[in-house]
Structure 1
Amino acid sequence: MATSMDSFISLSIAPAQVIRGFNVLEQMGDTTAPWSKAFTRLGSRPLVVGGDRTLDLVKPRLKPVFKAHHLASATASYGKDCSEEALRSLQQAGADHHADLIIGVGGGKALDAAKLLANQCSLPVVTIPTSAATCAAWTALSNVYSEHHAFLYDVSLARCPDLLVLDYDLIATAPERTLVAGIGDAIAKWYEASVSSGQSDQTLLIAAVQQARVLRDILFQRSASALKEPGGKDWQEVVDASVLMAGVIGGIGGAQCRTVAAHAVHNGLTHLRSSHDALHGEKVAYGILVQLRLEEMIQGNLLAETARQQLIKFYSAIGLPQTLTDLGLGGVTIADLHHAAEVACLPSSDLHRLPFAVAPSHLMAAMVSTTTPGLSAKSDLSTSYPELRSEVE
């Protein structure tokens, strides 16, 4: 039977190897440990990419590993964003060092920069997350930002990382806020995947959506106790859920299952300077409430209202933002809000994976009424935006 090239789908589902546990990096410096040679099989001249503070934190942990295995390493800072300018600088650093391996250490932007650099240079890449704020350590995807921290586009990579090292001791050095943000980013998988792919009859999409449901339930059940006992059993499970399981869902489901309106709202908000103090997962968590609000307003979806109220209670318990004010955007102007909404509604935006059309005015109305009860928000909208009240009903 003849087939069209359009019927072929390439999925990058998982890293080639995942090593996780306490004191993992320390064990890699012990040449008798089982995973001690994980780096050496990939290269002998690693370039370690991260932010300035992260490199200072991780270098003492990596130095004994490199020394034990006779690896000639160099470091390079990506700056503050995975940007085109930063990538050009990193390419030069890699060429100067004659690097044959890229090691990314840090949060989402550092790991995205390392993965994209490795992809551009056709080199293997190792990811070592220093927080559980995103699933970037897992995925075959990098987000590119402007020099002013605004999201520009994402790049699908040839493969997931060759090695992911999840060292719980290293993750535990990060502020609690980063894990809370990671919970927000991870739980979005259910609300986005169920809308974009919940009606699919394709086996892998069904699997991705169901895994997203399980992920949501794990986070609902364990997040509060995880935050009370860092390093404990529930904490480990929530870290695994945020870094690893969230990545699995994106890998199995592919692009059409990965992001919808919650991430589109994040992308739009990054174009507002006053949003830059909020973490990725915090903006995404707020974006879930916006997405559910859209489902209520435009579709009259009562289940979305129930889900939104459930999330508001959950957010209150663990400290995720529910409103623009919570994100530090309480004083944003109508012009700025309109700009963010226009970016989120661009033709290329993942927001259009919603099963209904959304105009910037609809999105703005949803953004200012995320905690409003019921389908009608006309009487409860912020008095700062009276021109949006008519869009809610």
Structure 2
Amino acid sequence: MSHSNIAFQPPLTIAPAQVLRGHGLLAQVGGAIVQLGQRPLVIGGNHTLATMQPQLQPALEREALQTAWMSYSPDCSETTLATLIKAAKQHCADVVIGIGGGKALDTAKLLAYYQQLPIVTIPTSAATCAAWTALSNVYSDQGAFQYDVALVRCPDLLVLDYDLVQTAPRRTLVAGIGDAIAKWYEASVSSGHSQQTLIIAAVQQARVLRDILFQKAALALEEPGGQTWQEVVDATVLLAGVIGGLGGAQCRTVAAHAVHNGLTNLLASHDTLHGEKVAYGILVQLRLEEIVQGNQLAATSRQQLLKFYGEIGLPQSLDDLGLTTVSIADLQQAAAIACAESSDIHRLPFAVETAQLMAAMVSTTAKEVRREERGERSEQPASHPHREEGISHTPHPSPLAPHSTNEVTA
């Protein structure tokens, strides 16, 4: 039989080979790491390494591991990667350990990918799903997003130590909630019409993730370390990663992440976290649907998200991102980058111009205006099928209960 016409799909990168989660894992992790290598190179930020080395070193020494420690400063950039590749070769590293936030983990994953080494991820907060995914973002030395790299596999080992994550500031979990909830608003608009089995599954998992966060986020933030808090950490670090793994690139990012990428080019935005910028980007995406399509369901969804953001402390505007004094020129630069030809914003089902994006970016908290008051056409534009359901304001007891895209159940 001829195989000349067989088309091979890209490899699936759905999940890490092993996930350890629980309390006090940092002190016990050496036994799992020794299965992957004898000479670890640990990558983290300067502060994280100073804090974590005294805690992690004894666990590694008990297994007689020969460990080197390196900072990813100044950023997850090509400059840093070149330095780390030299360090890995000099140390004869046979396994890479990333410990820290998203950029530390992205750097470690990318180093392991280039050196073809096993990779262990140890998140110190629940701010992103970077510990799970087969993806790394690359930035300039100044912190501006440049491009992402799809990796050949998810991490070999993910260590989710709830005690460690609980030491992170509250703000990091809030940011993780913003980053995770974006999965629904981006995946549903880009891939809601897909007939592919795994993409359908990813979109529906994104919906479940959204509902879990709507229902549990506020309580989780009130009771750090409690059972509900632990479930929300699992949602932001683990379940969010599952969705990207199942759905691939087309389920990962649309306008919300494109806006994030544009904002990283503004120095004034660097004091805000990834998930905070992404959460703001969701509001921008919904505002675009209102401005460009006249979509009233998007307007309702945005108002409900604003309420949810207010309850847990996610940014609702440029002011909340510390960009009160941003100039028109800077805003135009960020919008132009977000609208670049290669940008994921073009996964939206309509074309977006820089001026339209700027208008959306400055009006995320605008009140909903009825079509009749605007004097516009009354017909409702075609919308994503998941957004054509009735809008209910009644909370559902279970995140799995079928209900509207647009309701907030918190």
Instruction: Specify the TM-score bucket, using the shorter chain as the normaliser.
Output: over 0.9
SS at match of 2:99: strand
In the alignment, structure 1 residue 265 sits paired with structure 2 residue 259: yes
1:5–1:318 distance in 2 versus 1, CA, 3 Å: farther
State the shift of 1:44 in Å.
Answer: 0.2
SS at match of 1:38: helix
Specify the alignment match of 1:48 in structure 2: 42
- Structure 1 residues 48-87: aligned runs within 5 Å: 48-87=42-81
Specify the alignment match of 2:125 in structure 1: 131
AA aligned to 2:306 is I
> 1 CA distance for matches of 2:117 and 2:26?
22
Specify the alignment match of 1:364 in structure 2: 358
Per-residue CA shift, 1:34-89, capped at 9, x if unaligned?
A: xxx21011000000000111011111221121111110001000003100000011
Specify the alignment match of 1:299 in structure 2: 293
Aligned residues: 372
Contact preservation (8 Å) 1:140, 1:160: yes
State the shift of 1:305 in Å.
Answer: 0.8
State the shift of 1:376 in Å.
Answer: 7.9
State the shift of 1:184 in Å.
Answer: 0.3
TM-score w.r.t. the length of structure 1 is: 0.92
Specify the alignment match of 2:11 in structure 1: 10
Specify the alignment match of 2:27 in structure 1: 26
> 2 CA distance for matches of 1:298 and 1:345?
15
Specify the alignment match of 1:39 in structure 2: 33
RMSD of equivalent CA atoms:
1.6
Contact preservation (8 Å) 1:337, 1:364: yes
State the shift of 1:95 in Å.
Answer: 1.1
> 2 CA distance for matches of 1:81 and 1:141?
16
| Structure 1 moving runs of 4+ over 6 Å | none
1:219 to 201, 213, 221: 213
1:278–1:135 distance in 2 versus 1, CA, 3 Å: same
> 1 CA distance for matches of 2:291 and 2:37?
54
Unaligned runs of 5+ in 2: 374-410
AA aligned to 1:113 is T
Contact preservation (8 Å) 1:297, 1:376: no
> 2 CA distance for matches of 1:318 and 1:28?
33
Per-residue CA shift, 1:163-199, capped at 9, x if unaligned?
A: 0000001101110000000000000000000000011
1:345–1:45 distance in 2 versus 1, CA, 3 Å: same
Specify the alignment match of 2:400 in structure 1: none
State the shift of 1:3 in Å.
Answer: 7.6
1:249 to 220, 243, 247: 243
Worse overlay, 99-108 or 89-98: 89-98
1:6–1:151 distance in 2 versus 1, CA, 3 Å: farther
Contact preservation (8 Å) 2:303, 2:368: no
Contact preservation (8 Å) 1:82, 1:109: yes
Contact preservation (8 Å) 1:24, 1:165: yes
AA aligned to 2:150 is S
Per-residue CA shift, 1:113-141, capped at 9, x if unaligned?
A: 00000000000000000000000000000
